[in-house]
Structure 1
Amino acid sequence: MPYSATVLRVMIASPSDVPEARDAVKKAIHGWNNANAQTKGVILQPWRWETSAVPLLGAHPQKLINAQGVDDSDIVFALFGGRLGSPTPDAVSGTAEEIDRALAMGKPVHLYFSTAPLPHDIDTAQLEALRAFKNEVQNRGLLGEFSNTDQLNHEVWKAIEHDIATLFPEGSTPSRKEPTGVEFVVQPQQEREVSGFNSKGKPRYRTRRWLEVTNIGSRDAEDVTFESVNDGDLILTDPSAPTIIHRGQTRRVHVIRTSSTGDPVVRIHWTEDGKQKMRDFHVG
């Protein structure tokens, strides 16, 4: 069903050593859209230079990224792990230049530093440069930290809610009538976490997967249970006892993917106004 919405571009800025964090911010943005776009009348459009920038000659690459990304963005998320990044003609790194430019233009900038373990082959010069940059920038505002992508997802949602409330006072954005009854949004999530290190000191990773099930409707869902339609593709690892998902509440359902080529489907059963209801969600 068509609806009106205001589109905000969200730039994801970082050096090259935090690809998982960049992916996590993008997934968090899409998750927020799924849960809020229709009811709040706002859609967030992620922008990453490696996928969104248009190849073009005629200027330094950073100036082109500034023009295409920073200047046209409404919100900026900047992430750092163990590198500051390569210097540009005008700043200590490309990401630092993007931060300064966005701030000068009055855009909200959210800056996060990873506290996850660093690899043993870390570039110490880059690490020292990053620490010096952090010491300088911490006097210019509040900095955020994240130890894993799950925590970063929470931080992104918190920042988005703050920005929406600031950019659009109540009643100033296109709105849509609140959904009536129970309405679920199911968003697959995953994160890689360090499970140890090999003999060469490089980290080993494992992937945790779960479904975030949010009731965006106007009523509580009772006797909620979850079922994997194709057991060969998806295994639910949480207890199967019926539960209640209140209006606006999110529950996490942990899963295991047993096939990377299938089309996993989770079926949600619930009771609403004394009637049994059911809906399937594709979560591949």
Structure 2
Amino acid sequence: MAYSANVLRVMIASPSDTIEARDAVETAIHGWNGANAQTKQTILQSWRWETSSVPILGGHPQSLINSQGVDESDIVFALFGSRLGSPTPDAVSGTVEEIERAIEQGKPVHLYFSTAQLPNDVDTAQLDGLRAFKSEISKRGLLGEFSNASQLEYEVWKAIEYDIANLSLGVPVLKAADRGVRFSVQPRQEREIRSYDRKGKPRYSTRHWLEITNDGGQDAEEVVFEPVGERISLHLATDGTPTTVHAGQTRLLNVVHSMGGGDPNILRIRWKENGENKDRDFHVG
């Protein structure tokens, strides 16, 4: 079943040593969508530079990630293991630059640091830089920690619920595309009593009419209905005066079928739309 929803992009930022943690965030996002997207009318779209960025030349790689990822995201999750990341022209690491840029733009930023056992080949310089950054950033907000993927998934889910409650998204509106004028024609008939004979038995006749509907999103102006053909058997109960058929409106047009006509019953509708003359033929018999 189709439904309208707000779509939020969630950026996953981290150095290269947190692949499992990045996957855990994405798993949490998919799980939240499955459980809540329809009822909360909100869909989360994950963004990871390695799978979501578009390869393009014209700037430093980090500046391109910033414009494609950070600037277009609504929520940012930043993860750290034992590395701070590679430096950029403007920051001590790409992840740090992404965090600072998102904070400047007023976006929710959630930082999580791994408490798992450090790898045997840990880069001590990177580790020292990470600890210094953690000490400094801890003065600017609350930090999160995780020891495994399952715990991180829970923390991400909790953060998402917090963000959804505080973003004041409102009720999404599904904007319908402007479909212009779209006519549909349905032939109808009904058997009705015309009179009674001397014995009181009813005499019947069949009344025919056309249901003409403008299913589009725009009014049809200067509308004229006319039968098509040289030997027509379809006669319309109209004086030919142009009329307006509003969007969503249905008109009933009485018709009479006569004997002897050899052409198929075709109704032509002429109208004006955005100042342009248009017409369409409908087979109605």
TM-score range normalised by the length of the shorter chain: 0.5 to 0.7
| Whole-Å separation in 2 of the counterparts to 1:121 and 1:95 | 21
Q: CA deviation at 1:174?
A: 3.5
The separation in 1 between residues aligned to 2:159 and 2:153, in whole angstroms, is 10
Q: Aligned partners of 1:31, 1:125: CA distance in 2, in Å?
A: 37
Q: 1:168 & 1:19 partners in 2: Cα distance?
A: 32
> How many residues matched?
173
Q: Does 1:173 align with 2:171?
A: yes
Partner of 2:66: 66
Aligned-residue CA RMSD in angstroms?
1.0
Deviations along 1:80-139, one digit per CA (max 9) or x if unpaired, are 000000000000000000000000000000000000001111000000000000011000
* DSSP 3-state at the match of 1:27: helix
Residue in structure 1 matched with residue 89 of structure 2 by the alignment: 89
Partner residue of 1:144?
Answer: 144
In structure 1, distance between residues paired with 2:124 and 2:17? 14
Contact 1:53 1:69 in 2 (8 A): yes
Residues 200-215 of structure 1 aligned to structure 2 (within 5 Å): none
- Find the residue that maps to 2:166 and give its secondary structure: helix
Note the C-alpha offset of 1:69.
0.1
Is 2:164 the counterpart of 1:164? yes
SS of the aligned residue for 1:63 comes to: helix
Match of 1:78 in 2: 78
2:100 aligned with 1:100: yes
User: Counterpart in 1 of 2:117?
Assistant: 117
Query: Contact (CA 8 Å) 1:47, 1:69: kept in 2 or not?
Result: yes
Aligned equivalents of 1:160 and 1:52: distance in 2?
Answer: 20
Deviation (angstroms), 1:173: 2.8
Q: Which one-letter code corresponds to 2:145 in the other structure? A: E
1:158-211 deviation digits (Å, cap 9, x = unpaired) = 000000000026xx2349xxxxxxxxxxxxxxxxxxxxxxxxxxxxxxxxxxxx
Indicate the structure (1 or 2) with the bigger Cα radius of gyration: 2
Q: What are the residue-to-residue correspondences of 1:120-131 with 2, within 5 Å?
A: 120-131=120-131
Aligned to 2:227: none
Q: Distance in 2 between matches of 1:120 and 1:173?
A: 51
- TM-score, scaled relative to structure 2: 0.60
8 Å Cα contact 1:40-1:173 kept in structure 2? no
Output the CA distance in 1 between the equivalents of 2:158 and 2:171.
19
Q: Does 1:12 align with 2:12?
A: yes
* Residue in structure 2 matched with residue 280 of structure 1 by the alignment: none
Q: What residue identity is the alignment partner of 2:22?
A: R
The aligned amino acid for 1:103 is I
Partner of 2:56: 56
Q: Matched residues in 1 for 2:5 and 2:68: separation? A: 22
Alignment partners' CA distance in 1, 2:99 and 2:17:
17
Output the CA distance in 1 between the equivalents of 2:57 and 2:104: 26
- Once the two structures are superposed, residues 140-162 of structure 1 have per-residue CA deviations (whole angstroms, 9 ceiling, x without a partner) of 10000000011001100100000
SS in 1 for 2:56: coil
In the other structure, the counterpart of 2:229 is none
The alignment partner of 1:89 has SS state of: coil
1:213-249 alpha-carbon deviations (Å, 9 max, x no partner): xxxxxxxxxxxxxxxxxxxxxxxxxxxxxxxxxxxxx
SS for the counterpart of 1:111 is strand
Give 1:177-196 correspondences, 5 Å limit.
none
Percent sequence identity over aligned pairs? 76
Per-residue deviation, 1:37: 0.1
Which stretches of structure 1, 4 residues or more, deviate above 3 A after TM superposition?
Answer: none
Question: Structure 1 CA distance, aligned partners of 2:4 and 2:121?
Answer: 50
TM-score by length of 1: 0.60
* 3-state SS of paired residue (2:110): strand
In the alignment, does 2:31 pair up with 1:31?
Answer: yes
Give the Cα separation in 1 of the matches to 2:79 and 2:154: 14
Contact 1:14 1:80 in 2 (8 A): yes
Which structure 1 residue ranges, 5 or more long, are not aligned?
176-284
Q: What are the ranges of 5 or more consecutive residues in structure 2 without an aligned counterpart?
A: 174-285
